[in-house]
A and B are shown apart, each in its own frame.
Chain A
Amino acid sequence: MTNVLINAPKTARPGEIVEIKALILHPMETGFRPGTNGRIIPRNIIERFTATWNGAEIFRMEMSPAIAANPFVSFFAVATESGTIGLRWTGDQGFLVEEQVAIAVG
């Protein structure tokens, strides 16, 4: 089920600084809150977000329970070569989402 929104330019000039924005559906349950039955709801957060450009890592982020639900990440990269930008979210309870967007540099 698609639950990610990515905003990255489709084209860029060589050396141009591009902004990549990504939004993902996730509850980011802190692990500190009691549920309606009084028991603590187990922690369920995204622990790590990484971005790659043609396989090479360009951005990495560790997330914590203090980050709100449906985290939005924005970062910059220098466009060097055409290819794909890979985005990867991993977290508790085996959470794994991978998305790719193509970018043409020239």
Chain B
Amino acid sequence: MRTAWIALGLASVFVATFALAQGAADKRRSGYQDMGEALQKMQDDDTANPGMLFVQLGEQLFGRPAGAANKSCADCHGAGSMKGVAARYPAIPKDADKPVDLEGRINLCRTANQRAEPLAPESRDLLSLEAYVAFQSRGQPIAPPSDPRLAPFRAQGAEIYRRRQGQLNLSCAICHDDNAGKKLAGVTIPQAHPTGYPIYRLEWQALGSLKRRLRNCLIGLRAEAYAYDAPEYVALELYLMDRAKGMLLEAPGVRP
């Protein structure tokens, strides 16, 4: 009798864990699933998605020589060879000890290999190159690298994500974990998975990076946004990419 109870107990624990694991996997939603049908169609149609204009620009920039080395990106990487790259950034580049995000990596390549001026943050050229690279990973699962050196930075990102900030004294987690799916002024609060970056946000009427989105949220909290080159963004991006591990990239995304 007693063994039967234990067996039943174990079985229910197993079922509960399984359901939890399943539930956790099912509960993650890309912002894409929470927007209207018209916007979803806009994103899916490559001739209606304004992000594709920038992918096109990025493709041209990729093949154009720049800097004192007079080399183009394509001279080293070959056109269309960046599949899966966006799915694993931020990462620690060779011979470095700090992680960089995709934009940081592009600028690193520019300064070190092309010997050109780094592109300004949120400039059209930088976003276009990023869009072109990210577009090649469309449909690929987000795959953060298992590099153990990333762990402290990821932990820092998680800490920032849970830290209360700004005059509203809110953390990222309060909205995007605890209250995701509910409404904030008529808008569904998304779970904040970085699946579509760089995104074409209709409110911006332009392409923007995850950094710009994070700054937006910080300003919304009435916190002081970090400077564009702050390591806090990379830490947050690392944490968010890890949180969205396995979700499919949809760059360039369209968002309201």
* A interface list, Cβ under 8 A from B: 1-3, 5-7, 21, 23-25, 28, 68-70, 72
Task: Tell me the nearest residue of chain A to B205, going by C-beta.
Answer: A69
Contact in complex: A25, B53 (CB < 8 Å): yes
Given contacts A2-B56, A3-B53, A5-B56, is CB(A68)–CB(B202) below 8 Å?
yes
B206 on the interface (CB 8 Å rule)? yes
What are 5 inter-chain pairs, A to B, with CB distance below 8 A?
A7-B45, A23-B47, A24-B53, A69-B206, A70-B205
- In the complex the two chains form, what is the Cα distance from A64 to B55 in whole Å? 27
A21, B48: Cβ atoms closer than 8 Å? yes
Let me know if B177 is at the binding interface, CB within 8 A: no
Q: Are B50 and A23 in contact (CB under 8 A)?
A: yes
Contacts of A1 in B (CB 8 A): 57, 60
Alpha-carbon gap, A69 to B56, bound state (A)? 17
Which residues of the partner chain A approach B60 to less than 8 Å between Cβ atoms?
A: 1-2
Q: Are A70 and B48 in contact (CB under 8 A)?
A: no
Q: A2-B60, A5-B53 are in contact. Are A23 and B205 (CB under 8 A)?
A: no
Measured as residues with beta carbon below 8 angstroms from the partner, the interface class of chain B is 10 to 19
Task: Give me 13 other A-B pairs in contact (C-beta within 8 A), A23-B53, A70-B205 excluded.
Answer: A3-B53, A5-B46, A5-B47, A5-B52, A5-B53, A6-B47, A7-B48, A23-B52, A24-B53, A69-B205, A69-B206, A70-B50, A70-B53
- Do the beta carbons of A3 and B56 come within 8 Å of each other? yes
Shortest Cβ distance from residue A65 to the other chain B in the assembled complex, whole angstroms: 13
Q: How far is the CA of A23 from the CA of B54 in the complex (A)?
A: 12
Per the bound structure, the CA–CA distance linking A21 and B48 in Å amounts to: 8
Given that A69-B205, A69-B206 are contacting pairs, would A7 and B56 also be in contact in the complex, using a CB cutoff of 8 Å? no
B48 is contacted by which of A23, A24, A25, A28 (Cβ under 8 Å)? A23
What are the residues of chain A within 8 A of B56 when measuring CB–CB?
2-3, 5
Contacts of B57 in A (CB 8 A): 1, 3, 25
Known contacts A2-B60, A23-B53, A25-B53; A7/B205 CB under 8 A = no
Interface centre among B46, B50, B60 (most CB of A within 10 A): B50
In whole angstroms, what is the CA distance A1 to B61 when docked? 10
Contacts of B54 in A (CB 8 A): 25
Most buried by B among A7, A28, A70: A70
